[in-house]
Amino acid sequence: MSNTVNFTVEQFLHDFPEFQGTNNDILQIFLTRTKCYISTENYGVIHDESRLLACELMMAHLLTLYKRITDDGQTQAVSVASAAIQSVSVSLTPPTNRTQFEFWLNLSIYGTQLWSLLTAKTPVGFYIPGLPNRVLW
């Protein structure tokens, strides 16, 4: 086990080919942003392949949210509960989540997979002093 995982754009594109058409500069920006959320250092309860997968899933999550905003203009994080055509009646409901972090991750399929990975790899939650009921990996 080395101290860091080798997280590169090339490896990401190999594992997530659906992002092949994305501009390389954008990929580099989001690679850097991903490292702000998840360290490539092997420490804690997530190591090697699991840490690489966590980094890749976070990058895919960030890219998906970015593409939603730039391509579709979608900025709302809610589900449509009901809709009507005439007289335009739409009901929106946010997904149920225990934390804001879980809510944010549930905005894409990649974030949901990341949440599942983090939950499976963490035997118990770690509490941050001063912030009750917050979980940190």
Tell me if 122 sits within 8 A of 137, measured CB to CB.
yes
On the question of pLDDT at 137 being above 70, the answer is no
| Domain range annotation of the chain | 9-136
DSSP 74-123: -----EEEEE-STT--EEEEPPP-SSHHHHHHTTSHHHHHHHHHHHHH-S
pLDDT, tens only, 9-53: 999 999 999 999 999 999 999 999 999 999 999 888 888 999 999
Q: Give the integer Cα–Cα distance in Å for 89 and 45.
A: 47
Q: What is the pLDDT of residue 136?
A: 47
Give residue 135's pLDDT band: very low, low, confident or very high (50, 70, 90).
Answer: very low
